[in-house]
């Protein structure tokens, strides 16, 4: 097993794990936030403007953590600095 293969293997594994598990937390949190939003809307329909605005800001904040995970996965798959170094090394040999 040469170095490039190893780096490729580990990058594939971490790309999957980071997205697969890292989106679990945000998904559950968004479910909670959306659920609370609808309960609040049912309780106080007059405040729907404020509640909806707060919900969207909150969902954006939570989604940001899911996006961190997706970004790290994409970096690992398509802009992996260690892989690039390994390619460069292999080309230079």
Are 11 and 80 in contact by the 8 Å Cβ rule? The answer is yes
Of 5, 30, 22, the C-alpha closest to 86 is 5
Q: Which one, 11 or 93, has the nearer CB to a copy of itself? A: 11
Q: Which one, 47 or 93, has the nearer CB to a copy of itself? A: 47
Instruction: Give the Cβ contact number of residue 48 at 10 Å.
Output: 12
Instruction: Quote the least distance from Cβ 88 to a copy of itself, whole Å.
Output: 11
Instruction: Quote the least distance from Cβ 93 to a copy of itself, whole Å.
Output: 13
Instruction: Quote the least distance from Cβ 4 to a copy of itself, whole Å.
Output: 8
Helical (H) or strand (E) element with 64:
helix 48-78
Q: Which one, 45 or 93, has the nearer CB to a copy of itself? A: 45
How far is residue 56's CA from residue 49's CA, in Å, rounded to a whole number?
Answer: 11
């Amino acid at each position: 097993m040469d170095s490039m293969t190893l780096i490729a293997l580990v990058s594939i594994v971490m790309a999957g794990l980071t997205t697969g598990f890292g989106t679990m937390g945000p998904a559950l949190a968004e479910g909670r936030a959306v659920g609370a939003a609808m309960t609040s809307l049912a309780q106080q329909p007059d405040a729907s403007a404020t509640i909806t605005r707060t919900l969207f800001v909150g969902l954006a904040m939570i989604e940001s953590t899911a996006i961190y995970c997706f970004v790290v996965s994409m970096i690992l798959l398509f802009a992996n600095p260690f892989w690039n170094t390994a390619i460069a090394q292999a080309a230079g040999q």
